[in-house]
Amino acid sequence: MAEIVDHELHIVMFPWLAFGHMIPFIEVAKHMARKGHRISFVSTPQNIDRLPRISPELTTLIDFVKIPLPAVENLPENAEATSDLTYDKVQYLKKAYDLLREPMTRLLESLAPDFVIYDFVPYWLGPIARNLGIKTAMFSIYIAATLVFTGPTWASMGGDHRKRPEDFTVPPEWVPFKTHVAFPYFAIKRIFDAVEGNASGVSDMHRFGAAEEGADIITLRSSYEVEPEWLKLLEELHQKPVFPVGQLPPPSAGDCNSRDETKSWQRIKQWLDLQRKSSVVYVAFGSEAKPSQDELTKIALGLEKSGLPFFWVLRTQLGSSDTDSVKLPDGFEERVKGRGFVWTTWAPQVSILANDSVGGILTHSGWGSVVEALCFERALILFALLSDQGLNVRFMEEKKMGYPIPRNESDGSFTSDDVAESLRLVLVEEEGKVYRDKAKEMKEVLGNPHLQEQYMDNLLNHMKANRPMTRSNK
């Protein structure tokens, strides 16, 4: 125990206000706390109250610090996370988040941590911490391929020749190896405000560059077993240490089944347990976006045509301010009764994926869902909606980790037959065996607890060796 105390670090963690960001941050915090380090996890009150509870043995090492979110015009009241908002309103959340600059400065002054680990959105935090003598790390929930595509600092902070959506549909000039990782035109068009800027006055591209420039080290949810060439190139582009933290795998199947005892889960489990092994398509598109009405209709009709059993976690609205709710085709639920199950409230994704009846997942391709699915050998059918998902699809397609539903490159259109044929290919047909086999192969890599420990130890050893000298004996 004396050794743990001697090497103890105090680390402030400050994620972006999206659960797809906060959850990986809290997983990293838990790994670090288990090694004896103290964590101050900073977020807004509602978000902290909505985070998963941590185990009792970590409560003395992880302190949740609530920092009120300032009100700004056009941001709905009580909206503190991207999941509370439609995509067009997220820019106002960024505007409010940037107003936390002064409160965060005062908080860092009072806490005086050894390190602050921050997300790409608070691009302003690195210089603040440096002026206070605090070491910095930017933690990216995005994989190395995405960070490389965003570019070296000179490019993302204004020097990039890419000015039109078309420019982002090909690999950038600084990637020396052959790859198809780039945005489909329809995918970059949907999020082009990330390049052009938004109501916050700062583009996401600039945020990435400034956050990386202000960090002593770059950390990210990744591993050399999955993307060695991209991690090596990322370090070359930024000329600073890059530490993957591993893939942050979910609990084992046994842990999931023993943990979830709610009535909702029991009802879901009862239905899943009646299905044949590896026969069910799990359908989920995350908490940050939803398909359009046209996309939803075609997905539903495709599921119907496939003839496969499915469990669909359907989100019809994004927050209380979302007036553009989507609905299933008339008579759909009656026609698929017994074979399909539509669930419209929160569902325990990891427990569902852990159930033996599930053979694959139709997913938005967010990396968190990808890792969870592959850790349970679930084959991937890919359908990008927003953010980095278009890049993730190309990355996984290139490595045969998943099969994308065929879509028109220009407008993203597809047919219900495309959906049905993709589902059957990946889950049933001989041609899709490569994706089922790849899921088994990836389980051994992504779900390896020894690898996960090694990545976390590498990062922590570097942090301990490079903490501020004036704090080493506190």
pLDDT in tens, the chain (474 residues): 334 444 589 999 999 999 999 999 999 999 999 999 999 999 999 999 999 999 999 999 999 999 999 999 999 999 999 999 988 899 999 999 999 999 999 999 999 999 999 999 999 999 999 999 999 999 999 999 999 999 999 998 888 899 999 999 999 999 999 999 999 999 999 999 888 889 999 999 999 999 999 999 999 999 999 999 999 999 999 999 999 999 999 876 555 554 556 788 999 999 999 999 999 999 999 877 789 999 999 999 999 999 999 999 998 777 666 677 889 999 999 999 999 999 998 899 999 999 999 999 999 999 999 999 999 999 999 999 988 999 999 999 999 999 999 999 999 999 999 999 999 999 999 999 999 999 999 998 888 899 999 999 999 999 999 998 755 444
Domain layout of the chain by residue ranges: 2-249+448-471, 253-446
**CA 170, CA 335: separation in Å to the nearest integer?**
43
Cβ pair 362, 383 in contact under 8 A:
yes
**Domain 2-249+448-471 fold:** Rossmann fold (3.40.50)
429 backbone dihedrals φ, ψ, rounded to 5°:
-80, 155
Strand segments (E) across 344-462: 358-363, 379-382, 403-404
- Using the CB atoms, write b or e for 164-179: b if 16+ within 10 Å: ebeebbebbeebeeeb
Q: Which amino acid, one-letter code, is at 140?
A: S
Q: What is the DSSP letter of 406?
A: P
User: Which residue, among 403, 417, 407, 356, has the nearest Cα to 385 in the 3D structure?
Assistant: 407
Give the whole-angstrom CA distance, residue 201 versus residue 432. Answer: 46
Does 2-249+448-471 match 253-446 in CATH topology?
yes
Whether the CA torsion 202, 205, 210, 212 is positive or negative: it is: positive
Going by C-beta distance under 8 Å and a sequence separation of 6 or more, which residues neighbour residue 430? none
- Would you say 391 and 382 are in contact if contact means Cβ atoms under 8 Å apart? no
CATH architecture for segment(s) 253-446: 3-Layer(aba) Sandwich (3.40)
Backbone angles phi, psi at 454, to 5 degrees: -65, -45
Task: Quote the tokens at residue 288.
Answer: 């940050």
Strand order in the sheet with 340-343: 340-343, 310-313, 280-284, 358-363, 379-382, 403-404
